[in-house]
Every structure is written in structure tokens, then in C-alpha cells.
């Protein structure tokens, strides 16, 4: 009997050791968050906990989404595949339509014995319409999932809508210039509830390996947060680009480049919307950023409280960037830097602290990165590359450009390449226009150099690089799925 007892003790001890050696992952997502945060040098926007996280690990200064639209971007992140490979281009395309047997990021860790839990928005949700539901979530990814719903959803009639400052209506807020600053507690709002549940998930699963995804809905419109976060900002210090100057910025841009959220809708997307209303919306956006920053701080505090920092990989990301009046534009869905660049922070005890990487990287790189950082072999067939070499040395050799695509319709597509200096964009293979921006001298992408003959050879070279990504080519799904099992 003692022999059997000893054997059981040894087995339990071995399993405990295996679990202890596995890296936890805290996967934190924001919705529509651009790089207007203090960690990226925009000191006006108060986000001390994201500053704290950046100091714990590495800030990727040039991280880019694969499509500046929530659904395709998030599907790409979670599958490790580009939109073309996956076949997800719109908000309604199904994740597993072309890849029924794909193994998603959370599913990979679940298959390795991890607890895989989600709270809030990781895959696409119509925001705020689908808050409180599973939205377009993938059930197969998770061990369990939670869908909180706060007053930002249940009291939509209180949200102020521009133009005009209208209240008393429900619905129609997915693309809107709207805000609300109630006297409320964080926990009354959906994102406060997301943090509450994520904390519970961490504490409940702290003795086994976990992949916990906390998806915040802010700062996606409508811009709703407790009033105390609005009070952190002074409307007189909120600045917008002069509209005459903004109009000139777009004079040399192909029409298709702003066809969706510009053109007849310029400026600020809504006819009749005033500069003062746009400024208030920009303030409200900043307030919601500070609100989610506070929730991130609570998650970091929970890891520290439970002695989990040393054994947890922390990732903070957003699905794409966002315009806040620059060039007279609002929202996303454009090939400009402002729309496709996203914040990306990674912290793990295995890398040096307070590092910054200026190499262009892609959100599709997150899947192989986390798999490798957790000590597992990276599956074949992923479109991204592990960022481990850059986590070890931010100046390591890295020749891969970042590729972003725009898909408005089958005949309205663009592909954009970003390397360390240049952004090059082709619209419908170039027949509807080209864009070339020199980020060394023109970081705001004001001067389109595509028509300047002195850059003809450069354009030819960049076009050749881009051609490998801009074909809508999907490998045989059965062959691809077989590889990834």
C-alpha cells in the first residue's frame, strides 16, 4: 500500500511541476484603440497602467493590423492567418468557413491542457449591439466564456448623439459620434465588468496554466465611461487639425483611399457635425482610454497579488488604429498609418524591461510568438512569424514588411506595405491609384510621392514585394488543415 501511495505522490508531484513550468498568458484586447496613449509619447492621454506595462517588457512602436476592421483583424490574430488565407474580409464572414478544422490561438492552449477563458470582446461583436451576447465568437476556442452587459448597453437612451446632441434613442450606435459621462462606478459599465470577471478567472485558475483573454469594448464608439475619466481632460486643450489644411492633405490621394469614410462624408463622417462636437467626441474617446487603462491596472495588480507575474506572459493589443479628425477623417477602414498602426505591448520575465522595438511587425505574428514563448513548437501553416528574436533583441535582423489590406468590395481593394521607412499602397492592383509616403521625412503621410518619377525604381521594388501578398490565393483547405493538426 505504501508503494502505491508513494507512486501517487510522485505522479502528483510531477504533474504539479509540469503545470508550474508552463507559462500563463494574459491576453488583453482593446477595441478601436490607436497609439494616442502616453506609452507612445502622447502625454495628453493619461494611461499610467499601460506605461507601467510598457516598462515591464517591450513596446512595439510599429505594429500593424492585417485589415483595419474589427472582424477580419481579430479573426487574423486568433487564427494566425491573413484575411486572404482565412477568407474573412467583412464583419459577417465566418471564421471557419474555409478552415473548418483550424486551431485557433486559445484552442491551441486549451489542447495543451490550459484553461482557456474569455470575457468580453475578442472575436468580433457588433459594438454595442451585441454586448451581453456571444456575438461572432468561436465557442471551440474556449473552456468557458462570459458576456457582461453594463449601463453603456442597457441605458443607451442616455447617450448623446451628434450632430445635434440628440438623446432618448436606442440602436444605431455602431458607427456614431456619441458619448455619455454618467456619475457611475466602473463596475456598472461593461468594461468594468470585464475586468471584474477576468480577475475572478485569474484567481480561480491560478494553480494551473491559463490562457485568459480579456476583451475591452472601449474606446469603440459610443464613447461611454464614468464621469471621473472625462474630468481628467480639459476641452480647451483638445486640438483638431485645421480643416483647410486637412483638405489639402487629401488632394493627392486616390479617391478610393477615402471612399468609405471620407468623400461625401468629409469631414468627420457626419454632415452638419461641428468642430466643437468633434472636439467633444475626441475628449470622450480619450476618457474611455483612461477608463480601460484603469481596468488594465486592476488586472496587473491581480497578477502581482497572486504572485503570478514571473510566470505570466502579458499581451496588450488593439485590433487597429483610428482617426480622430486627422485629415478631416474619423473611424478606421483606411490604408493610412493612422488607421492600420496599433499599440502592442508584450511583457514576460524572460525579456529585458523598458525596451522599444522599431521594426515593423504584424498582429498576425502574435499566434506564433505566444506559442514559442510558452515553450511549444510553432504549428506549420501560420502566416505570421514569431517575434521572439525581437523580444530578445529589438535591433535583431528582421526583414519582413508589414502588410495590410483594405476590402470594401470585390472591385474595391487595396494592399499596403510598410517597411522601416516607406509606406506603399496599391488600389486594385494600381489601376485605381498608388500611394507612397516617406516616413523618415513625412510621418503624417501628407505628401504622396507615387507620381514623382525619381521614385519609380523604388515603387517597382516595393510593388514586387507586395505582389506576393496581394493575390487572393487560398491554399487547398484540406491540405492546410492536415498540416495544422
> Which residues neighbour 181 within 8 Å (Cβ) at sequence distance 6 or greater?
224, 225, 226, 227, 229, 230, 284, 287
Give the Cα separation of 464 and 468 in Å (integer): 7
Three-state secondary structure call for residue 94: coil
From 328, 326, 303, 302, select the one nearest 313 (Cα to Cα): 303
Q: DSSP string of 388-427? A: HHHHH-TTS---PPEEEEEEEETTEEEEEEE-SSEEEEEE
Q: Which of 35, 65, 70, 221 is catalytic?
A: 70
Q: Which of 124, 136, 220, 407 is catalytic?
A: 124
From 145, 115, 116, select the one nearest 133 (Cα to Cα): 145
Peptide bond into 327 cis (omega under 30): no
For residue 83, what is the enclosing H or E element? helix 83-86
> Which residues neighbour 209 within 8 Å (Cβ) at sequence distance 6 or greater?
19, 22, 23, 24, 109, 112, 113, 114, 115
Cell 517575434 belongs to which residue? Answer: 387
All three cell numbers of 345: 505591448
Three-state secondary structure call for residue 112: coil
All three cell numbers of 94: 465566418
Cell 474606446 belongs to which residue? Answer: 219
Give the Cα separation of 339 and 155 in Å (integer): 30
Would you call 136 a catalytic residue per the annotation? no
Instruction: For strands 24-31 and 210-219, give the pairing.
Output: parallel
Give the Cα separation of 374 and 312 in Å (integer): 9
Task: Indicate the burial class of 463 (C-beta count within 10 angstroms; 0-12, 13-18, 19 or more).
Answer: middle
Give the Cα separation of 382 and 375 in Å (integer): 17
Task: Mark out the alpha helices in 174-242 (DSSP H runs).
Answer: 190-204, 227-230
Give the Cα separation of 446 and 246 in Å (integer): 9
Q: Which residues, in sequence order, are bridge partners of residue 437?
A: 423
All three cell numbers of 388: 521572439
Would you call 97 a catalytic residue per the annotation? no
Give the Cα separation of 75 and 123 in Å (integer): 6
Give the dihedral of Cα atoms 400, 402, 366, 145; nearest 10 deg: -160
Torsion sign across C-alpha atoms 443, 270, 220, 427: negative
- Find out whether 421 and 439 touch, Cβ atoms under 8 Å: yes
The residues carrying an active-site annotation are: 70, 124
Amino acid at each position: 500500500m505504501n508503494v502505491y501511495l508513494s507512486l501517487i505522490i510522485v505522479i502528483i508531484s510531477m504533474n504539479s511541476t509540469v503545470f508550474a513550468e508552463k507559462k500563463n498568458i494574459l491576453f488583453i484586447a482593446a477595441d478601436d484603440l490607436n497609439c494616442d496613449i502616453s506609452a507612445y509619447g502622447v502625454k495628453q492621454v493619461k494611461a499610467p497602467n499601460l506605461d507601467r506595462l510598457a516598462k515591464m517588457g517591450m513596446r512595439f512602436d510599429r505594429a500593424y493590423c492585417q485589415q483595419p476592421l474589427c472582424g477580419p483583424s481579430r479573426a487574423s490574430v486568433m487564427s494566425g492567418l491573413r484575411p486572404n488565407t482565412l477568407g474573412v474580409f467583412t464583419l459577417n464572414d465566418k471564421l471557419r468557413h474555409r478552415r473548418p478544422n483550424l486551431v485557433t490561438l486559445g484552442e491551441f492552449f486549451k489542447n495543451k491542457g490550459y484553461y482557456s477563458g474569455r470575457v468580453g470582446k475578442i472575436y468580433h461583436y457588433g459594438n454595442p449591439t451585441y454586448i451581453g451576447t456571444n456575438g461572432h465568437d468561436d465557442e471551440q476556442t474556449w473552456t468557458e466564456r462570459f458576456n457582461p452587459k453594463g449601463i453603456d448597453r442597457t441605458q443607451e437612451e442616455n447617450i448623446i448623439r451628434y450632430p445635434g446632441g440628440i438623446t432618448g434613442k436606442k440602436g444605431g450606435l455602431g458607427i456614431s459620434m456619441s458619448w455619455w459621462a454618467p456619475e457611475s462606478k466602473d463596475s456598472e459599465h461593461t468594461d468594468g465588468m470585464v475586468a471584474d470577471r477576468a480577475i475572478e478567472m485569474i484567481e480561480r485558475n491560478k494553480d494551473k496554466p491559463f490562457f485568459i483573454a480579456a476583451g475591452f469594448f472601449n474606446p469603440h464608439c459610443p464613447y461611454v465611461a464614468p464621469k471621473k475619466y472625462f474630468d481628467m481632460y480639459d476641452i480647451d486643450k483638445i486640438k483638431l487639425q485645421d480643416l483647410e489644411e486637412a483638405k489639402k492633405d487629401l488632394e493627392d490621394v486616390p479617391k478610393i483611399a477615402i471612399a468609405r469614410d471620407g468623400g461625401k462624408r468629409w469631414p468627420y463622417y457626419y454632415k452638419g457635425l461641428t468642430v466643437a462636437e468633434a472636439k467633444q467626441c475626441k475628449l470622450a474617446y480619450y476618457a474611455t482610454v483612461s477608463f480601460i487603462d484603469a481596468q488594465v491596472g486592476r488586472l496587473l495588480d491581480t497578477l502581482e497579488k497572486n504572485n503570478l507575474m514571473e510566470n505570466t506572459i502579458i499581451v496588450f493589443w488593439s485590433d487597429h488604429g483610428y482617426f480622430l479628425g486627422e485629415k478631416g477623417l474619423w473611424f478606421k477602414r483606411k490604408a493610412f498609418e493612422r488607421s492600420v498602426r496599433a499599440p502592442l505591448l508584450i511583457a514576460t520575465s524572460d525579456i529585458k524591461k523598458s525596451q522599444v522595438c522599431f521594426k515593423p511587425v504584424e498582429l498576425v505574428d502574435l499566434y506564433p510568438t505566444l506559442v514559442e514563448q510558452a515553450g511549444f513548437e510553432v504549428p506549420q501553416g501560420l502566416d505570421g512569424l514569431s517575434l521572439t528574436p525581437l523580444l530578445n533583441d529589438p535591433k535583431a535582423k528582421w526583414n519582413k514588411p508589414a502588410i495590410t489590406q483594405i476590402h470594401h468590395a470585390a472591385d474595391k481593394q487595396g494592399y499596403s506595405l510598410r517597411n522601416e521607412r516607406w509606406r506603399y499602397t496599391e488600389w486594385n492592383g494600381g489601376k485605381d491609384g498608388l500611394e507612397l509616403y516617406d516616413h523618415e521625412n513625412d510621418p503624417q503621410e501628407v505628401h504622396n510621392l507615387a507620381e514623382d518619377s525619381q521614385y519609380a525604381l523604388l515603387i517597382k521594388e516595393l510593388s514586387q514585394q507586395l505582389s506576393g501578398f496581394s493575390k487572393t490565393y487560398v491554399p487547398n483547405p484540406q491540405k492546410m488543415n492536415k498540416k495544422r493538426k
